[in-house]
């Protein structure tokens, strides 16, 4: 009786989309100043590394952004949309309570019948979604998946709080993941610790047609920074051990694009040269679940990441959630 060949998953195409409205720090500072709130380009850059972010128009939704990123990933993979048999969207800002943004993306792409659902792990969402898709492909539940991170965080920002409203932006990124006889995804690991729910959250909900609580983002910046640096280092090392690799095998590190100081600290702990760190936070801001696939597509299209390179993805977000994925591109 012949052995069943091993089944793996590989990323075969990437895509991304940013709303056309690019907002500079100076523009945002002027908007806040009109409401008596002081900030500046220098203040934002020094603390975060962010210079620009993109805000979606009021009629544009997460599924709109996600569908456009998906189209670009499908084109890069030379993949017929009808071949997709799984769609997972990582988002914290879906179009509505239900149905899922994934179902809306499916409709916008003209795909019918395949499994489609959302994953909610905030800024770790894309790593979570990629891990789920990888597992479903390896077990034969899917063969060709669209994995998307899409957010319109501008809708949940408190523009009276300069410590948070300057950080976030809107956008979407996507990958096509397909079954392969050769390993692509080498290892993944996911974690959460609900004891830290309060340090990054949107403490509101809809009940009886009214908003209960506060529907705007709240964050304890110092607590998030301290926890993020610690867990990102440990989860990266754990994934490397699972994959039988070392820090020296990492060609590129793509952490969640939240704060340049967190990102640089993570790279330093892994003994990676600064030029191996993929940085888009200066141009995109923090786009939550979209930040990693946005940065991945940017690096692929710019020619930095090439076929055969080994890439580490890391995410950390509200929940508190975190995770990492190592793959050969």
User: Where does residue 62 fall: left (phi above 0), alpha (psi -120 to 50 degrees), or beta otherwise?
Assistant: alpha
Strands 86-90 and 115-119: parallel
219 touches 168 (CB < 8 A): no
Is 286 designated active site?
A: yes
Q: Which of 54, 114, 165, 256 is catalytic?
A: 256
Catalytic residue, chosen from 114, 123, 165, 201, is 123
Rounded to 10 degrees, the C-alpha dihedral 243/287/120/310 comes to -10
Is position 79 annotated as part of the catalytic site? no
- Distance in angstroms (rounded) separating the CA atoms of residues 178 and 123: 24
Separation in Å, CA 297 to CA 11, 18, 184, 322: 11, 12, 17, 21
Q: Are 44 and 166 in contact (CB under 8 A)?
A: yes
256 flagged as catalytic: yes
150 in helix, strand or coil? Answer: strand
Is the Cα torsion angle 247, 251, 256, 260 positive or negative in sign?
Answer: positive
Asked if 225 contacts 261 with a C-beta cutoff of 8 angstroms, the reply is yes
Catalytic residues: 123, 256, 286
């Amino acid at each position: 009786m012949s052995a069943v060949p091993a089944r793996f998953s590989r990323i075969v195409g990437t895509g991304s989309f940013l709303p056309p409205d690019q907002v500079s720090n100076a523009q945002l500072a002027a908007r806040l100043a009109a409401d008596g709130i002081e900030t500046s380009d220098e203040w934002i850059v020094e603390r975060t590394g962010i210079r620009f972010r993109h805000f979606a128009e009021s009629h544009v939704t997460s599924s709109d952004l996600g569908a456009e990123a998906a189209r670009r990933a499908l084109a890069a993979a030379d993949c017929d949309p009808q071949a997709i048999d799984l769609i997972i969207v990582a988002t914290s800002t879906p179009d509505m309570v239900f149905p899922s943004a994934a179902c809306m993306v499916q409709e916008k792409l003209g795909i019918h019948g395949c499994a489609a659902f959302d994953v909610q792990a905030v800024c770790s969402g894309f790593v979570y979604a990629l891990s789920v898709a990888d597992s479903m492909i390896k077990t034969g539940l899917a063969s060709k998946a669209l994995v998307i991170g899409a957010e319109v965080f501008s809708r949940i920002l408190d523009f009276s709080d300069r410590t948070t409203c300057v950080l976030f932006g809107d956008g979407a990124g996507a990958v096509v993941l397909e079954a392969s006889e050769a390993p692509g995804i080498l290892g993944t690991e996911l974690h959460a610790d609900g004891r830290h729910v309060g340090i990054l959250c949107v403490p509101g909900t809809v009940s009886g047609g009214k908003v209960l609580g506060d529907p705007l983002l709240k964050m304890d910046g110092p607590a998030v920074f301290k926890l993020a640096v610690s867990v990102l280092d440990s989860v990266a090392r754990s994934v490397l051990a699972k994959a039988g690799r070392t820090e020296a095998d990492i060609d590129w590190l793509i952490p969640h694009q939240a704060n340049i100081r967190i990102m640089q600290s993570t790279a330093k702990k892994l003994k990676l040269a600064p030029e191996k760190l993929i940085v888009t936070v200066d141009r995109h801001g923090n786009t939550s679940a979209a930040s990693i696939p946005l940065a991945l597509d940017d690096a692929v299209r710019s020619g930095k990441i090439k076929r055969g390179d080994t890439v580490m993805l890391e995410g950390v977000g509200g929940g508190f959630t975190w995770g990492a994925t190592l793959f050969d591109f």
